[in-house]
Structures are given as structure tokens and as C-alpha cells.
Amino acid sequence: MKKFFLTTAIDYANGRPHIGHAYEKILADVIARIARLSGKDVYLMTGLDEHGQKVEQSAVRRKISPKALCDEVADDFKSLCNTLNVSYDHYIRTTDKYHKEFVQKCLQKLFDAGEIYKAKYTGLYSLSAERFVQEKDKINGEWPADYGQITEITETNYFFRLKEHQQWLIDYIETHPNFIYPTFRAKQVLEFLKEPINDLCISRPKERLSWGIEIPFDREYVTYVWFDALLNYISGVNFDGKTVDDYWPADYQIIGKDILVPAHSVYWPIMLNVLGYDLPKTLLTHGWWLSSGEKMSKSLGNVVDPLECIELFGPDSFRYYLMREMNVGQDCDFNLDRFATRYTTDLGNDLGNLLSRVVNMLHRYCGGIIPELGEDSPVTEELRSLWNATKRSVLAQCEILAFNSALGDLFSFIASINKFIEQNAPWKLAKSSENKDQVKLKLTLAAAAESIRLAALLLAPVMPSTVPKILDALGTNPEIKWDNLDFGNHLSGKTVVKNVILFPRLETNS
Ligand code: MSP
């Protein structure tokens, strides 16, 4: 069976993990978890992009070898993934032996096929972007700030033919509407392709850069970091007895908007096509986390550290906030106050208090045992039909990657469970000695418990460590399964725990 194959961008090894890295992994993980729960055989790959000038320079500054630097950074990034519960199946590093061998094999193949040629070139080189740039890259007559210093360089290098594949690429994008998500990004790529594209310089002379993969047909050169990095998506499923065909083409390649054009939407598809591979099914391009509307950057000092957020709110709440706020594909402002409000309101009050109230009432009125949930009672009918509508809409929205509105609907359902309890007022029913009130009391608590169980199951891809605690508090198997999401008598006879606190109150400084 072919795997449901998902990749994230591989992070540069020249910095510390920030919120953008964390978000991308969480997004990939949520999609992976949904796919697993829906019965797919998932393979999620993420990793580290280790070569290039900036890594080499950081290592020189630190007086350590580039590999030693990358080992440290890899530990930091992997540990972030683990803290965030990102269920990756493989973590690739571009210094891995199988990756380097695969890159060299591809370079040789392209060279032998005449797709790579040698030429002398004079051009403007950006050290920060680690590539040749052109006057047309200027924005309003200025070089973009992230290009840093620009110097004119004359060099003999190897070039990968892109120009002659330009029309093929345009036709491909026009005839494959799912290739680039969201659609407005495909339009941007087509706009970029209206101008003639240049062949891509894929080598760097060793005298200028030695921290890279050696070009197999000319040992004086290493390959350009992007050419190396992009190939991770295939090298990562092409070792250890794996068969590329079992994984490739990827179902989703998840990347940020800054690396769509030209790397993933021009270089990558042309490389794949020339090497004889299909194109990924979808380049899922997410937007950026901003800080007060501005790009986060080290120089502005406004970069959000994911570990600090996790320290304050816990990993699952961080995952919830990011998935609840961002409309996949659009930019979104990160706001700590808003995060605190969501933590207190959605998670603490609506979900956490709901669970603790229900288990406490079950102890007080039912001896801690969940009563039977009768069929077709008018008491439970409202919640049952609300659940059915919620389930349909949440699953449909996950299908179209609208996780923010899926969570919105799920939390409306959770609000309805709270309302249902207020309306039926178990504390009043408990005081009545009438049989019908006692029946209603039991049904109310059984229906509330069942509703919490179901809502938790749909919340599991986003909050994978909280949900087992909820299921455990309800006395049921904490294993998360989506094989039966029907509202029914699943909890009857289960013993609930006493006192459960899912989201402790935030400590205030005031
Ligand atoms: N190494 C390249 C990717 C090579 S993939 C073959 C790279 N690395 S990166 O560390 O700079 O970025 C990794 C991912 O994080 C990218 O997809 C990028 O878009 C994403 N983000 C970086 N900053 C971001 C935000 N502020 N918000 C959301 N994601 C952003 O690019």
C-alpha cells in the first residue's frame, strides 16, 4: 500500500528554532494524525538543512567544525519536535551519507544527460541569500534587506538548464489545479513565470565554500545548498531498503510562502521532471506568523520563541492556539494576550471546567459510575443531533485544511454541552424525589460525558497529549480511535476519576 507521504521544509541549521518552524511541524503533524486516524498508512518526514555558507561561517565564529555545529542544532530542533509531540517517522539531515550519495547520483545523471553545463558568468552575488541575484529582484529600486551585501563576481560554474522547461512548467501548473495550495499562490507562480527564467547556478567553487556536497564530475566544486536540500524529499525515502515508489509522489509538501517561488515551484518541479519523477500532489504553502503585523526577525528582536510559549501554556495549548488562529495559507499575527485569553476561555473554562464539573457531578449523584445512555430520549436528542452536525462539519473542514474553523465548530459544540448542563440543571434534579427527574439526571450526565468523549476524539490530532487524559478521566480506554464516532452508550458502567484539572490557572503577576 502506498504511504500517505508528507514532508515539511527542512530547517536551516544556522539558527535557533522559532515559531515558524514550530507551526509548520504542528500543521504537518495534525494532517498526519488525521490521516492515520482515517486509516491511512502515513509517513511524515522533517529534518535539517545543514550545508551552505552561513552554516560554515557560524561554525568558524564558534571555532567548531560545521558538523559539530549541525549536531548541536539538530538536537535542538529534534527536541522541539519531541516536546511538541510531532509524530515524525523520519528526521533527515542533509549530512546523512545516503542523502549525499543520492545528490551526487542525481548531479551525475543530469550532467550525463546534458542538463548541467559549465560556463563563465559575471553576476551580482548575495551572500545572505547565497545566490546570484538580478536587477529584476529589486523591490521599488532597492535590494530586499535579506539579500545583505551584494558584490559582483566573475566565476566559472555549473548551471542547470531551467529555461527550456519553462513552458512545460507553465502548462503543468495550469492543468493541475491542486498542485499549489492555496490557488492564489499558483497565480503568483504563473506571474513569476511570465518573465523568462535563467538557468540555475548549482555549483560553488571550493575556494569560496567548502561546506557542501562535492560535485562528482568536478572535485573543485560543491553543490548549491538549495539543489542539495530539495533532494532530501526523495533521498529520505530512498535508503534502508525503502522503495521510492511506495512513497513518492508526496501527498503534501508543506512549506512557508517565502520558499515557494522560485525554489519549490520552479527549481523543484523541473528537477523532478528531468530526473524522471512525478511532481508532488500538493505544495501546501502556509502563511507567516507576524509580530504586530511585521515580519519576525532577529534584528527587530520580535521573534517568538516556541519554548517560552510551551513553558507558559504547555505544548498542547500552544498547538491549539496556532491551529485555532491561523487560516492555513494566510498570514496571522501572534499575540500573547490573545493566546492567554484562548487558554483561559476555550481551554480552561469551556473544556477543562466542563470535564471537571461532569466528573464531580457523576461522583456526587451517581457514585462515580457513568449511567446508561438510553436510545431516543428527548433529553439527549438535542445533543445527539448537534453532535452529528458537528462531526460532519469538522471532518469536512479538516478535509479542506480549514482547521481553524473546524476547531471553531468543535468548541461551539463544547459550549453547547455546557449550555445543556445549565438548562437541565442536574443539581436541581438531584433534589427531586420524582422518578422522572432521577431518570433525567442520569441521562443528562451520561449524555454530557458521551459528548465530551466524542469532542475529545475529534480534538485529538491537535491536542494529542490532553485527549488521553480526558478519556482516562471518563474511565475509558485512552487510546484514540476514529472507527466509531457515533453518539451512543459507550461509557455506561465506567468509573470516572475524582478531580481533574486539564489546564491549570495561569499565574498572574498582579
Ligand atoms: N532550509 C530552507 C528550506 C529548505 S526545504 C528543501 C529554509 N529553512 S528555514 O529554517 O528558513 O525555514 C523553514 C520553514 O519555516 C520554511 O517553510 C519557512 O517558510 C518557515 N518559516 C520561517 N519563518 C516563518 C514564520 N514567521 N511563520 C511561519 N513559517 C515561517 O527555508
Give the number of domains in the chain. Answer: 1
> Which pLDDT belongs to residue 5?
98
The answer to whether the predicted template modeling score (pTM) of the entire model surpasses 0.85 is: yes
CATH number assigned to the domain comprising residue 450: 1.10.730.10
Question: Which cell numbers in the block locate residue 369?
Answer: 459510575
> Which pLDDT belongs to residue 491?
97
List pLDDT tens digits, range 313-340.
999 999 999 999 999 999 999 999 999 9
Q: Is the CB of 255 under 6 A from ligand 1?
A: yes
Q: Is the CB of 49 under 6 A from ligand 1?
A: yes
Distance between CA atoms of residues 43 and 250, nearest Å: 10
Q: Is the CB of 225 under 6 A from ligand 1?
A: no
Q: Is the CB of 227 under 6 A from ligand 1?
A: no
Mean pLDDT within 157-178? 98
List pLDDT tens digits, range 266-278.
999 999 999 999 9
Q: Which structural domain, as residue segments, surrounds residue 398? A: 345-473
> Which pLDDT belongs to residue 509?
54
Please check whether residue 421 lies inside any domain of the structure: yes
Please check whether residue 280 lies inside any domain of the structure: no
127 vs 342, which has greater pLDDT?
342
Distance between CA atoms of residues 99 and 130, nearest Å: 21
Task: Indicate the pLDDT class of residue 135, thresholds 50, 70 and 90.
Answer: confident
Q: Is the CB of 296 under 6 A from ligand 1?
A: yes
Question: Is pLDDT above 70 for 388?
Answer: yes
Question: Is pLDDT above 90 for 127?
Answer: no
Please check whether residue 131 lies inside any domain of the structure: no
> Which pLDDT belongs to residue 510?
47
CA 197 to chain CA centroid, nearest Å: 31
Please check whether residue 326 lies inside any domain of the structure: no
If you take atom 21 of ligand 1, which residue's CA is the nearest one?
A: 20
If you take atom 29 of ligand 1, which residue's CA is the nearest one?
A: 20
List pLDDT tens digits, range 236-275.
999 999 999 999 999 999 999 999 999 999 999 999 999 9
Average confidence score pLDDT of the chain: 96
> Which pLDDT belongs to residue 272?
98
Q: Is the CB of 318 under 6 A from ligand 1?
A: no
Angle, CA 49 vertex, CA 45 and CA 55 arms, to 5°: 160
Q: Is the CB of 228 under 6 A from ligand 1?
A: no
Are 66 and 222 spatial neighbours (Cβ–Cβ below 8 Å)? Answer: no
Mutation pick for ligand 1 pocket among 12, 146, 292 (CB with most ligand atoms within 8 Å): 12
